[in-house]
Amino acid sequence: MEELNKKILLVEDDPNFGTVLKDYLMMNDYDVVHAKNGMEGFEKFKKDDFDLCILDVMMPYKDGFTLAKEIREKNKDVPIVFLTAKAMKEDVLKGYKVGADDYLNKPFDSEVLLMKIKAIMQRKATETISDSKQFEFKIGSFDLNSKLRFLRYKGGEPVKLSPKENELLRLLALHENDLMPRQLALTKIWRDDNYFTSRSMDVYIAKLRKYLKLDEKVEILNIHGEGFRLVVNN
């Protein structure tokens, strides 16, 4: 049972409200990471890939706008929604300047928030990903197309990859000849790190090795206790 829920970063200093909102979102099948202030929010943002950020504007130390700016520096695309208690015009305008996708005045209806989240996600999904470079890799005599999820050997018939196979091989390719730490794959792909996910990953390594056998110059080496290494000899 594979769950690929959308991940939301919620930064809200009011613990009550924050917890309630978090629970509500999680009840609606979102993975939510809750940060209690701007600093923490930015730390958590850097550590993970989020599909959406919900930021409270009024927070001590680092307000939502400042945080948004920092987030924008790291990621120009992630949607940002602001929450604010007062409907100050200047705030709204400031928010849009920073690249907000939407704006909600507290108190707001939770269903409306859900709807907006959905709308925003759909919008993002619509924006066609044209930079194919990120998704194409040469691995020895193989071509990996990570968007279309296939692996082709010397221009022959492409083999279809499952989502997990694909992401794992992509991650290995991104670290070609270098160590790809277990942890990394587990957190990025499996979003969890326990005995079973780890074993699951080993199973996928075995599958990938089978595919890659066609080119004896390509292999996946294990670095005991550390992770794996995709090497291309020549």
CA distances from 97 to 48, 58, 177 (A): 25, 17, 42
Site string for its own copies, 194-233 (x = CB under 8 A): -----------------------------xxxx--x----
Instruction: Examine residue 193 and tell whether it contacts its own copies (CB under 8 A).
Output: yes
Partner whose footprint covers residue 206, from DNA, its own copies, none (CB < 5 to 8 Å by kind): DNA
Instruction: Examine residue 224 and tell whether it contacts DNA (CB under 7 A).
Output: yes
Residues 144-173 that bind its own copies (CB under 8 A): 147-149, 162-163
Partner whose footprint covers residue 93, from its own copies, DNA, none (CB < 5 to 8 Å by kind): its own copies
Handedness of CA 180, 53, 124, 116 (dihedral sign): positive
Work out which of 19, 183, 222, 233 binds DNA, going by CB under 7 A.
Answer: 222
CA distances from 77 to 63, 73, 80, 100 (A): 20, 10, 9, 10
Instruction: Examine residue 69 and tell whether it contacts DNA (CB under 7 A).
Output: no
Q: Are 211 and 155 in contact (CB under 8 A)?
A: no
Q: Compute the least distance from the CB of residue 87 to its own copies, in Å.
A: 8
Instruction: Examine residue 225 and tell whether it contacts DNA (CB under 7 A).
Output: yes
Work out which of 6, 36, 62, 188 binds its own copies, going by CB under 8 A.
Answer: 188
Cα atoms in the 13 Å half-sphere on the side-chain side of 60: 3
Partner whose footprint covers residue 196, from its own copies, DNA, none (CB < 5 to 8 Å by kind): DNA
Closer CB to its own copies, 12 or 165, in the complex: 165
Instruction: Examine residue 15 and tell whether it contacts DNA (CB under 7 A).
Output: no
The Cα 25–Cα 211 span in angstroms is 40
Q: Compute the least distance from the CB of residue 111 to its own copies, in Å.
A: 6
Instruction: Examine residue 202 and tell whether it contacts DNA (CB under 7 A).
Output: yes
Q: Which of 188, 195, 178 is nearest to 230 (CA)?
A: 178
Instruction: Examine residue 123 and tell whether it contacts its own copies (CB under 8 A).
Output: yes
Q: Residue 145 is inside which H or E element, if any?
A: strand 142-145
Residues 136-165 that bind DNA (CB under 7 A): 149, 160, 162-165
Peptide bond into 15 cis (omega under 30): no
Residue 225, by phi and psi: left (phi above 0), alpha (psi -120 to 50) or beta? left
Beta bridge partners of 179: 229
Residue position matching structure tokens 């690929």: 4
